[in-house]
Homo-oligomer: A and B are copies of this chain.
Amino acid sequence: MTAACAAPILTARSPEAVLNLLRGNGMRVSTARRAVVTTLFAAGGPVSAEQIAAGLDGSRLEVDLASVYRNLEKLEQLGVVRHFHAGHGPGRYELAGEHEREYLACDRCGAVVEASPEELEPIREEIRKRFGYEVRFTHFPMVGLCAGCGEADL
């Protein structure tokens, strides 16, 4: 196999673009692989491996879960996919863009909002100064209560 590219190659515009990218990296385009990719495009946001396996519409499993995980892993190595863990529950996968994404997750309803590294920089800086830690909310988002759940709490 050709050497895998660890750094994100480019923002994939379409399922076909990704599929070609795969071909270019010595990977084959199988039905399962195609399903994972197109489902990821159709989802338009973070989804679980199980959702991908079910083909979004929650119907019967169209692709074996093991294959989904194996494909997601490879796609992630190619920089086409990324995933994060929002509290309890399964990991969430989505197409990777050219810009890094960080998140905030609601502990109660599971809602996830995206944040850009730039707008989180002041926070990162504060933590860096105070604790010497370089925090990232890309793989493990910040967890708390979203506006809605926070109100319901009072």
The answer, yes or no, to whether A15 is at the interface (CB within 8 Å) is no
Chain A positions 122 through 154: 1 when the CB is less than 8 Å from some CB of chain B, otherwise 0? 110011001111111101101111110010000
Least distance between A152 CB and chain B CB atoms (Å): 12
A5: chain B residues at CB < 8 Å are: none
| Count of residues in A whose CB is under 8 Å from the partner chain | 28
Number of copies: 2
Contact status A146-B133, CB under 8 Å: yes
CB pair B131–A113 under 8 Å, yes or no, is yes
- Could you tell me the distance in whole angstroms from the C-beta of A125 to the nearest C-beta in chain B? 10
A115 to chain B: which residues have CB within 8 Å?
130-131
> How far is A132 from B104 in the complex, measured between Cα atoms in Å?
10
Partner of A144 from B87, B107, B135, B147 at Cβ < 8 Å: B135
Residues of the B chain whose Cβ atoms lie less than 8 Å from the Cβ of A135? 104, 142-144
**A140 near B104: Cβ-Cβ < 8 Å:** no
